[in-house]
Amino acid sequence: MKFDRRRFIKRLLVAIASVEALFLIKGGITNKARLSEDKKLIRVGKSDSYEKNQVYPFLSHHFYLKRFEDGGFMALSIKCTHLGCVINHNTKTGGFNCPCHASQFSPKGEVISSPATRPLDYYPMTIKNGELYVDTSVVKRRKSFLKSQLTYV
């Protein structure tokens, strides 16, 4: 068998290029995943910047931040659990109304009036360095309101 130097160098270059391409693809995927995870963890700030028994809309991030009378926080999804329309905060009742088929929800997100049959979903919250974060990458479904769904500082 005759040693073909040109063919050997060509194959070597193709092999090196393939290995580099694999590293680039892997790195790109990892960075993209890290970026999208960061974008879904929404920093909403210090707890003392929110008054008790009030609702604060973060509509571009798809949640209402509710602070309850006992100081607990809940990030309620803005999506109606009937067919997914965007709910409105009812400033008179403290609850939420759906403009599409008139479902109504309590301030805790429980169904007051159908056609929705289950409470509003919510997003888990965490505290880092005294600041509140809402993790919009995880949507929590529930059958009823439980105090354990609230986040306390």
User: Could you tell me how many residues of this chain bind ligand FES (CB under 6 A)?
Assistant: 10
Q: Which is nearer to ligand FES, 100 or 127 (CB)?
A: 100
**Binding of ligand FES at residue 88 (CB under 6 A)?**
no
Question: Which among 40-48, 66-74, 88-96, 97-105 is the span making contact with ligand FES, rule CB under 6 A?
Answer: 97-105
- Map tokens 């009812």 to a residue: 90
Told to check if 62 binds ligand FES by CB under 6 A, we report: no
116 binds ligand FES (CB under 6 A): yes
Stretch that binds ligand FES, among 30-38, 47-55, 82-90, 123-131 (CB under 6 A): 82-90
Q: Does 101 bind ligand FES (CB under 6 A)?
A: yes
83 near ligand FES, judged by CB under 6 A: yes
If one asks whether residue 139 binds ligand FES (CB under 6 A), the answer comes out as no
When the beta carbons of 21 and 59 are compared against ligand FES, the nearer one is 59
Cα distances from 87 to residues 26, 57, 134, in angstroms, run 40, 11, 19
Say if CB 125 and CB 133 are below 8 A apart. yes
Alpha helices (H) in 4-153, listed in sequence order: 5-40
Joined together, the tokens standing for residue 8 give 């050997």
Task: Give me the residue label for tokens 């007051």.
Answer: 112
Buried residues in 72-107 as b, exposed as e (16+ CB within 10 A): bbbbbbbbbbbeeeebebeeeeebbbbeeeebbbbb
- Is residue 85 part of the contact set for ligand FES (CB under 6 A)? yes
Q: Which of residues 13-52 bind ligand FES (CB under 6 A)?
A: none
CA 74 to chain CA mean position, Å:
13
d(CA 57, CA 96) in angstroms, rounded, equals 12
Site residues (CB under 6 A) for ligand FES?
Answer: 80, 82-83, 85, 98, 100-101, 103, 115-116
